[in-house]
Amino acid sequence: MNLQERVDLKKADRNDLYTLEPPFPRTNFLIETSNACNHDCIFCAHRKMKRKVGIIKPELVENVLWQAYNLGTREVGFYATGEPFLVKQLPDYIRLAKSIGYEYVYLTSNGALATPERIREVIAAGLDSIKFSINAPERKVYEFIHGHDDFDKVFEHLKYLYRYRNESGSKYRILVTGILTRFTENMREKWFDVFGDCCDEIVFKMVYNQGGYMPEIETLLKCESDKEQYRRCNLPFDAICVTCEGYLSVENADYENMLVVADLNKVSLKDGWYSENMKKVRQAFIDDKMDGLICDGCVHHCAKPSEPIMPELSEANPEIYSDRLVRERMKEFGFMDNKIVYLPMTVDIVHPGHINIIKIAARYGKVMVGLFTDEAIMEYKKPPVMSYVQRKIIIENIKGVDIVVPQVSRNYGPNLTKYKPSYMIHGTDWREGPLAEVRAAAIALMATWGGEVIEPDYTQGISSSALKKKMQTGE
């Protein structure tokens, strides 16, 4: 099975797995040797992690390796939230896993610390594959994404890894993954141009709210081509992750241990896998009712309040849902310099279409909602259910909205001229019909100061008018 197939399998439709007591996994076993990391990737929750940084105890590694092997597991990876090459015992753990009988031992690394010496050590220990996570194919963009100017260093390490395989006659696999953001999604071919001769496979993943810890990805980093609304996840049924503290977690990207279901310092791996806590998580996934679980944000592309499964083993973090660090990075590199994004809205009844377009607008800068006044709405349809003041209170408290100003008519000209936004966002529903002339006028006016009109696809299947009709008729 190649890397792409492995990636696809994690969210494939595998209903046969969805039971409260699935078989113990043969693959997908990760041991977090440390939760420390030397990089600060823009899409990673490690930067806002409050959890104490630590290194796993050698005796714990040996213990869980033997337990998993005796339960039928035959593959293991030594990484999770941290960088494995920060751990000096890494070769020892690889050697131990191979001596126990593991058939496939692998690593994922950002590559910055994978020096020739460290590479030779892990290969000599019996490593079967190593994957470099390189999230941009050129130096400046790489620094923006990774938070460190290590592009040239990582590239040299990758080339040495490839060269050493030829020199030593070893058979390990060399893999590269790229996490695509809206800043890099159109650069795929360059990955192949730059790294294609130094690895066996290059696989891309679209950035997503991994583990539920990064809801700001939806508004600030998500790929324009990513239309996913629901993300299937098989991890509770087919994956094991042991944290550096010795806890069993549902998710390998569990930065604050909110998805820990058992303390393996006190119970066996088997008992943890079939524990009541794990069964509750599986039931939530089977029923698709994840209220209170941080998983909800990842699966349903949302940000809702969540609580740790075992509060005594988790670290409280008030910044879990803060987008401050991502916005600061974007501003530092010139991708967000307080450009105004004008978004006209009526919002009589808030629905998912409004949330979607606000998320899109927030990617481009400071969101200014031009909220239609009651009088402006009555120019072309029935009076709103809620007053302007009531609607304003709701809108200005939606995540992603920075300021609300009155839109006093269907003519956008006065507000556009007054605020001179860099962008105006409007759904595609105005391209035809009575608003077509308004659209043409807005595009022409924005162009006079170099502004741009952006037209995301209109959210299908829902509207305020349809909701009002449904409430009135009871249908």
Going across the sheet that includes 403-407, the strands are 403-407, 366-372, 340-345, 423-425, 452-454
Q: Give per-residue pLDDT as tens, 351-381.
A: 788 888 998 898 888 999 999 999 999 987 8
**Number of domains observed in the structure of the chain:** 2
- Among the residue ranges 36-40, 66-70, 93-97, 456-460, the one predicted with the least confidence is 456-460
Shared domain check, 149 and 198: yes
Whether residue 22 is found in the same domain as residue 159: yes
Query: Does the residue 450 lie in any domain?
Result: yes
Q: What is the pLDDT of residue 100?
A: 98
Q: Structure pTM? A: 0.80
Confidence of residue 458 (pLDDT cuts 50, 70, 90): low
Residues 365, 218 share a domain: no
Count H helices and E strands in the chain, helices first: 19, 14
Q: Dump pLDDT digits (tens) for 292-338.
A: 999 999 999 887 789 999 999 998 898 888 888 998 999 899 886 67
If asked whether residues 277 and 150 sit together in one domain, one would say: yes
| Residue 321 within a domain | no
400 lies in a domain?
yes
Q: Which of 9, 20, 15, 17 is nearest to 282 (CA)?
A: 20
Please indicate, yes or no, whether residues 18 and 128 belong to a single structural domain of this protein.
yes
Phi, psi (deg, nearest 5) at residue 335:
-90, -10
Provide the pLDDT confidence category of residue 471 given band limits of 50, 70 and 90.
very low
DSSP for residue 76: E
- Please identify, among 280, 313, 346, the residue that sits at the C-terminal boundary of a domain: 313
Tell me: the pLDDT tens digits for 411-431? Answer: 999 999 988 999 999 988 888
Under 8 Å between Cβ of 123 and 172: yes
Count Cβ atoms within 10 A of the Cβ of residue 72 and give its class: 0-12 exposed, 13-18 middle, 19 or more buried: exposed
Report the candidate in 253, 177, 188, 179 with the shortest Cα–Cα distance to residue 222: 179
**What are the C-alpha distances in Å from 84 to residues 108, 159, 237?**
8, 19, 25
Whole-Å CA distances, 14 to 238, 245, 282, 293 = 10, 31, 14, 22
- Pick the last residue of a domain from 313, 328, 355: 313
Higher-confidence residue: 234 or 432? 234
Q: Across 364-470, where does the E strand assignment appear? A: 366-372, 403-407, 423-425, 452-454
**What pLDDT is stored for residue 472 in this prediction?**
54
| 157 plus 262 within the same structural domain | yes
Q: How many CA atoms lie within 13 A of 219 on its CB side?
A: 27
> Do 269 and 370 have their domain in common?
no
- In CATH, what number is assigned to the domain containing residue 413? 3.40.50.620
Per-residue tokens: 253: 């990207």
Task: Tell me the CATH number at 150.
Answer: 3.20.20.70
Q: Give the three-class secondary structure for 214.
A: coil
Phi, psi of 240 (to 5 degrees): -120, 135
Angle between helix 151-168 and helix 116-124 axes, rounded to 10 deg: 40
Round the CA-based radius of gyration of the chain to a whole number and report it.
25
Structure tokens at 231: 């993300």
11 band by pLDDT with thresholds 50, 70 and 90: low
> Which of 116, 191, 211, 208 lies closest to 158, judged by CA?
116
**Confidence check: pLDDT of 8 > 80:** no
Whether residue 308 sits in one domain with residue 446: no
Please tell me the least confidently modeled range out of 81-90, 131-140, 312-321.
Answer: 312-321
CA dist., res. 411 & res. 429, Å (int): 16
Mean pLDDT of the chain: 91
Report in angstroms the alpha-carbon separations of 117 from 25, 218, 300, 302, 314: 33, 40, 43, 44, 36
**Predicted pLDDT at 373:** 94
Q: Tell me how far apart the alpha carbons of residues 254 and 243 are, in angstroms, rounded to a whole number.
A: 9
- Answer whether residue 469 shows pLDDT above 60: no
Greater pLDDT, 454 or 475: 454
What's the angle, vertex CA 267, arms to CA 266 and CA 270, rounded to 5?
Answer: 160
Q: At what angle do helices 116-124 and 90-100 cross, to 10 degrees?
A: 20
Same domain, 277 and 367: no
CA distance 258 to 84: 22
Query: Is 149 inside a domain boundary?
Result: yes
Is residue 149 within 8 A of residue 143, CB to CB? The reply is yes
Q: Under a CB-based contact definition with an 8 Å cutoff, are residues 281 and 310 in contact?
A: no
DSSP per residue over 297-327, as a string?
A: HHHHT----B--SSGGGS---TTTT--HHHH
Domain carrying residue 404 = 338-473
Helices 151-168 and 139-146: crossing angle in degrees, nearest 10, is 100
**Residues 26 and 149 placed together within one structural domain of the fold:** yes
Residue 116 sits in the same domain as residue 224: yes
Partners of 223 in the beta sheet? none
432 with 353, same domain?
yes
Residue 214, in any domain of the structure? yes
